[in-house]
């Protein structure tokens, strides 16, 4: 029994917590420089966070029981109460934020999904959900400033509910909340509509950037490299702005592995592939990328963050800024004063 007590004491000690914080801080700093995308998802790092969580949890439990003992004796001063309650609130807040994070790590789901304007998805196909629903992207719109820079990206969607069709718009900073799921505007792109007298895969008229088109009567192929909404020579293969002021399509004509040439086409401009084969790019259709997310731990993190903010503000304004020179030593608890 003594051994369990020793382990508990070690795990709940503030010195252990400080040490863990130091290690986590040091490793995080190194992680941002080395490999930020993978580093923070390694088991070692997660184990460190878990240890901190255990330490903080035990430490908070100790402080609560100590607090109850002192208060039940009924001799505690107001300053002591104020100090202990604010400290407990902010530490409990952090514990709850970490619990929320753990719940999210095990039960949270988040996926990016590409939906072409006009298409529908069913949330049941993307994530596990009790209340699946079907979402249609009616339109994807970019609002522009006068200079052509984007001011908002908006996906106009509709969700069928029983016999009613409800319309919503999802834009940056304005996610859709529906049936325990959130949908965020993540990014967007374009599909190019092609017309040809000779397409091998005649079903395929919407082509994504980077795809290659083959034909029946020739071995030559067309690679659709990129759609440029606002072409300007000075910007090369990048669009000057996202606004379609001067739309062009960059493509290459190939024979097997060999590239015969690169072209810059307008919409409806006929591209001669071979004697009997031609092709035109007729228009573009945008697609939107939505992040579909469910986070069952979010409410815990939310309560935790409110407790944390209230606790820390209380401590800052009503505890720490008292003039400690007047010698109001705190009873029982931590004493920061050294004057």
Partner 1 sequence: MDIINELLIYSTLGLYAIAAIFYYLGNKNKINLLPAAFGLAIVALGFNFLSLFIRTVASGRLPLHNGYEFVLCFTFFTVLMYLFYEKYAGDTKAGTIVMLVSTLLYLSIPLLMPYHINYIGNVMPALKSPWLAVHVITAIVAYSAFALAAGLAFLQIKNKTFTKDNYVYRIVITGFATLSLSIVLGAIWAEQAWGRYWSWDPKETWALVTWIVYAIYLHLNRYKNWQGSRANILVIVGFIIVLFTFFGVNYLLSGLHSYA
Residues in contact with partner 1 by CB under 8 A are 14, 17-18, 21-22, 24-25, 28-29, 31-33, 36, 39-40, 101, 110, 145, 147, 149-153, 171-175, 182, 184, 186, 291, 293, 298, 301, 305, 308-309, 312-313, 315-316, 320-321, 324-325, 334-336, 338-339
Q: How many Å apart are CA 7 and CA 10, to the nearest integer?
A: 5
Of 235 and 299, the one with the shorter C-beta distance to partner 1 is 299
Helix (H, G, I), strand (E, B) or coil at 318: helix
Evaluate whether 241 touches 148 at the Cβ level (below 8 Å).
Answer: yes
Closer CB to partner 1, 71 or 289, in the complex = 289
Residue with Cβ nearer partner 1 (214 or 302): 302
Residue 40 CA: distances (Å) to CA of 28, 44, 100, 195, 294: 8, 9, 17, 47, 21
Strand 258-265 to 212-214 pairing? unpaired
Q: What is the dihedral angle through the alpha carbons of 97, 101, 107, 111, rounded to the nearest 10 degrees?
A: 120
Q: How far is the CB of 316 from partner 1 (least distance, A)?
A: 4
CB 184, min distance to partner 1, A: 4
CA distances from 186 to 75, 240, 287, 292 (A): 57, 21, 11, 10
Residue 161: beta bridge partners? Answer: 164
The size of the chain, in residues, is 339
For the bound state, the minimum distance from the C-beta of residue 317 to partner 1, rounded and expressed in Å, comes to 8
Shortest Å distance, C-beta 192 to partner 1: 25
Kindly state the smallest distance separating residue 337's Cβ from partner 1, in Å: 8
Please give the structure tokens belonging to residue 195. Answer: 């017309």
Cα–Cα distance measured from residue 210 to residue 192, given in angstroms and rounded to the nearest whole number: 11
Q: Cβ of residue 80: shortest distance to partner 1, in angstroms?
A: 15
């Amino acid at each position: 029994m003594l051994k369990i007590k020793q382990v508990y004491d070690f795990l709940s000690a503030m010195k252990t917590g400080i040490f863990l914080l130091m290690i986590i801080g040091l490793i995080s700093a190194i992680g941002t420089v080395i490999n930020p995308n993978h580093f923070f998802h390694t088991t070692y790092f997660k184990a460190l966070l878990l240890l901190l969580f255990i330490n903080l949890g035990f430490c908070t439990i100790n402080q609560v029981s100590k607090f109850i003992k002192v208060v039940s004796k009924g001799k505690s001063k107001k300053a002591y109460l104020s100090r202990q309650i604010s400290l407990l609130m902010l530490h409990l807040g952090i514990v709850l934020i970490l619990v929320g994070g753990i719940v999210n790590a095990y039960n949270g789901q988040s996926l990016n999904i590409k939906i072409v304007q006009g298409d529908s998805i069913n949330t049941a196909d993307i994530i596990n959900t009790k209340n699946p629903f079907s979402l249609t992207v009616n339109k994807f719109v970019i609002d522009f400033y006068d200079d052509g820079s984007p001011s908002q990206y908006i996906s106009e969607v509709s969700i069928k509910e029983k016999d009613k069709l409800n319309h919503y718009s999802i834009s940056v900073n304005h996610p859709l909340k529906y049936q325990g799921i959130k949908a965020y505007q993540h990014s967007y792109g374009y599909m190019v509509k092609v017309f040809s007298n000779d397409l091998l895969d005649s079903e395929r008229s919407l082509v994504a950037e980077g795809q290659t088109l083959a034909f029946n009567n020739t071995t030559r192929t067309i690679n659709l490299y990129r759609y440029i909404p606002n072409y300007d020579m000075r910007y090369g293969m990048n669009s000057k702005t996202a606004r379609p002021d001067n739309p062009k399509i960059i493509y290459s004509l190939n024979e097997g592995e060999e590239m015969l040439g690169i072209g810059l086409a307008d919409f409806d401009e006929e591209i001669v592939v071979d004697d009997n084969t031609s092709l035109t790019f007729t228009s573009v259709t945008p697609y939107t990328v939505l992040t579909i997310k469910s986070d069952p731990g979010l409410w815990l993190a939310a309560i935790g963050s409110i407790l944390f903010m209230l606790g820390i503000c209380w401590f800052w304004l009503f505890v720490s800024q008292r003039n400690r020179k007047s010698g109001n030593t705190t009873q029982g608890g931590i004493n920061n004063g050294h004057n």
